[in-house]
Amino acid sequence: MKKVHRIAIAVLLGACLFLSWGLFGQLRDKDATPPVITLQGMSPQDLQLLRQDIRSKKQKLIAENLPMAESEAVKFWAVYQKYSADLKAVNDEKFSMLHTYSRNWRTMTNDDALIFMRRWLELDESAVQLRTKYFPLVKDVLPGKKAATFFQLDERINMMINLEFASQLPLLHGADGRH
């Protein structure tokens, strides 16, 4: 099962890397036009489909790495669907914020930068609060080790996705040519 888990994680990470491959070159070239996170020129509709595909792969990874009896699975997946929808709402807001940042990072003022970071932290906190809200719901439908395993898997996958998107953002320091 560990091999399946590693392969599945590698596939998910590979999808995220595929998304960002074209953007990395832009981020390295300081003279390039400011990058816009459209991930290789994808339309917003294509990007939404891709994000849906990532969510689907995430669900598949969880299913492959969290063995459940049929009675557990029915209850768990009902809770998971609600959790996933709530998490999507948080991630939609974060992704919208990243789009705005990608368009405006070169011209952000100090105040803009602080507002951006405060909002980023608030959204991270919203995700943590969401997991905290769903913890008792998951532990009510799964035994302790399985409930913990779900949250471990969820956290690992989310960390990889967040790392990939965060790595696409240029750092603000020196964005205006000053250090």
For the chain, give every domain's residue range: 2-167
Rounded Cα gap, residues 63 and 70, in angstroms: 12
The answer to pTM > 0.85 is no
* pLDDT tens column, 113-127: 999 999 999 999 999
User: 24: pLDDT confidence band, cut at 50, 70 and 90?
Assistant: very low
3-state SS, residue 112: helix
User: 104: pLDDT confidence band, cut at 50, 70 and 90?
Assistant: confident
Rounded Cα gap, residues 120 and 122, in angstroms: 5
Spatial contact of 63 and 84, defined as CB atoms under 8 Å apart: no
3-state SS, residue 178: coil
